[in-house]
Amino acid sequence: MVQPASEPIIRCSGLSIGYVDGIGATTRVVDHVSFLLEPGHSIGIVGESGSGKSTLARALLGYLRGGGRFLGGQLEIDGVEVTSAATASIRALRGLRVAMVPQNPLASLTYHIPVGRQVEEVLRARRGLLRLEAEQRTVALFSEMGLPDPEIIGRRFAHQLSGGQRQRVVIAAALACDPALLVLDEPTTALDKTTEAQVLELVQRLRSQRGTALVLVTHDLNVVADTCERVIVMKDGCIVEQGPVTTVFRRPSVDYTKTLLDASLDLTGDAPSANTLADVLVNAEKLSFSYGTGGWFKRPQRQARPTLDRVDLALGRGEVLGVIGESGSGKTTLGLILAGLLASDQGALALEGHSIAMVAGKRRPEMRRRIQMVFQDPLSSLNPRQTVLAAVMRPLRLFFGLNRNAAREKAASLLSDLGLGPEYLDRYPRQLSGGQQQRVAIARAFAAEPDVLICDEITSALDASVAGQVLEELNAMRRRHGTSVILITHDLAVIWRMASRVMVLKDGIVIEAGSTGDVFAAPKDPYTAALLSSATRVKRLNEEPTPSSLINEIAHVA
């Protein structure tokens, strides 16, 4: 039953959640959490990876991962006590009254069904729309989410979309039934700043027009400052601080909150200096690629624009090259081609002046070892049936012939460099948080000791403090081994901190390239200027600070 508007839509009191392992031991991951949320209001949940944010978010829909248990307390959502409610009552809530946007969009989409049809199924099953009505509503939702060519996008499969496009499809599905409560678990990690602003504006508009309450789980404190009225800070499953965003961010009362604020990256200091490309390690010429648009029977469809269009790239030995652009600009496709996971329609690729095969399966083992990639979606890149040890140990044994004991020792060392203890070696990917999964994927790539490391949004699933650790490890690896890095990201602060040169992609075309300092200081193309303006915030003197400027008042690059 829907509660009166005066009643909180979320009433959480003393909630505790734990996971039971194979021998019956319980690990408490949410510990005596209490908060209220009124209809139409918003609250952000922040904290480091593994603090219990995502577990709490899933609990708001009455869902726990395998082995999860409610250990105590009450959690009432829209009048339903979800810790003890019948399955039918929970199902009546999900989708219609409460909807969720999960952190991992690829795992949320069915790989063999076009994404448009998946959203249509939501509309037909939950809202009772007819097929034609559902199709029209889906196209309208995709258009609202800023997806290019929404009809063509709807006919594509999840693996044919960029990470940001997948995330916007999932958000569209969540918004389809106009829920009273929207739970977003890291919804903008895969989005560039301009698209992020569009998505958050859409969510805010829905909240304003429909009275939708919002729970936003994120490690991006700027997103919370721009979107939420209140904030909860979690550490080790407990709430260490909560209150109005303005109060907490301007005057944090606990050291942990101050640490999170200090770890937020911004565009201060100097960008790395760019050197002359005297020793080119990787050279790519005229790379082009287009995804097919035919259906099961290859029926002709309207031709989509190329994903990549005659892209040239040169990467120096030991250099960090940043690749930026909006979601769908071709960044990830470029990385996949360089790694040999996609074959370009035309063009050439060379390593140290020697032509190499476009497809990794046709490259010699040594060439495969020398070019490694860390993917944006860590859970999909890790085998769910293999332990962390098996994942990290495989390249050590495959490329270097280490025995099991030596490989385990090296794997433990790699995880330690990324902030994970040896106890994680025997866990499975599903037992890790999103940030922990990404660090395992990074450790696996480091294990091959590559000459070229292609990083596709490697910090998108990480909180700011852990992201800083990962970036420091990348820098240390590059200095020790002369490793070249191609850094694909929508986070311009990461580019500013890491990359000496940057190239800007739009609609598959390189529209601007040069040293990071020069491009950021004086962009020549209006598109680059728009990316920069959407990613930076200017503090206005003699004015009361707004929530969106509070982070940069406090945060600075260490």
Per DSSP bridges, beta strands 280-289 and 308-316 are: antiparallel
**CA separation, residue 248 to residues 216, 232, 322 (Å):** 16, 9, 34
Does 320 have pLDDT greater than 60? yes
Does 268 have pLDDT greater than 90? no
SS (H, E, C) 498-521: HCCEEEEEECCEEEEEEEHHHHHH
Query: Encoding tokens for residue 349?
Result: 């690729």
Predicted confidence at residue 11, as pLDDT, reads: 95
Q: Distance (Å, rounded) from C-alpha 31 to C-alpha 239?
A: 8
For residue 262, what pLDDT band results from cuts at 50, 70 and 90?
confident
Q: What is the mean pLDDT of the chain?
A: 84
Sequence ranges of the domains in the chain: 280-294+302-535
Helix (H) or strand (E) run with residue 320 in it:
strand 320-324
Query: Encoding tokens for residue 397?
Result: 């044994």
Predicted confidence at residue 448, as pLDDT, reads: 92
Q: Distance (Å, rounded) from C-alpha 503 to C-alpha 497?
A: 15
Average pLDDT over residues 44-68: 89
Distant-in-sequence, close-in-space partners of 397: CB < 8 Å, separation ≥ 6: 403, 404, 407
Judge whether 365 and 359 are in contact, CB under 8 Å: no
**Taking each helix axis from N to C terminus, what angle separates 526-535 and 193-210, rounded to the nearest 10 degrees?**
60
Per DSSP bridges, beta strands 10-20 and 452-456 are: unpaired
Predicted confidence at residue 152, as pLDDT, reads: 93
Does 424 have pLDDT greater than 90? yes
pLDDT in tens, 494-535: 888 889 999 999 989 999 999 999 999 889 998 888 877 765
Multiple choice CATH, 280-294+302-535, 3.40.228.10, 3.40.50.2000, 3.40.50.10320, 3.40.50.300 = 3.40.50.300
For residue 376, what pLDDT band results from cuts at 50, 70 and 90?
confident
Length in residues, the chain = 558
Q: Where are the alpha helices (DSSP H) in 128-233?
A: 131-144, 150-155, 163-175, 193-210, 221-227
Per DSSP bridges, beta strands 320-324 and 501-506 are: parallel
Judge whether 415 and 443 are in contact, CB under 8 Å: yes
pLDDT in tens, 449-483: 999 999 998 887 677 777 777 788 778 777 777 88
Q: Distance (Å, rounded) from C-alpha 552 to C-alpha 262?
A: 9
Q: Distance (Å, rounded) from C-alpha 115 to C-alpha 29?
A: 34
* DSSP symbols for 407-431: HHHHHHHHHHHTT--GGGGG--GGG
For residue 301, what pLDDT band results from cuts at 50, 70 and 90?
low
Residue whose C-alpha is closest to residue 212's, from 114, 297, 309, 97 = 97
Residue the block writes with tokens 């491009």? 519
| Amino acid present at 198 | Q
Predicted confidence at residue 334, as pLDDT, reads: 94
Predicted confidence at residue 27, as pLDDT, reads: 86
Higher pLDDT: 163 or 32? It is 32
pLDDT in tens, 104-120: 788 889 989 999 999 99
Residue whose C-alpha is closest to residue 72's, from 36, 28, 35, 23 = 28
Judge whether 554 and 261 are in contact, CB under 8 Å: yes
Does 36 have pLDDT greater than 70? yes
For residue 173, what pLDDT band results from cuts at 50, 70 and 90?
very high
Query: Encoding tokens for residue 261?
Result: 């604020």
Q: How many angstroms from the chain centroid is the CA of residue 87?
A: 31
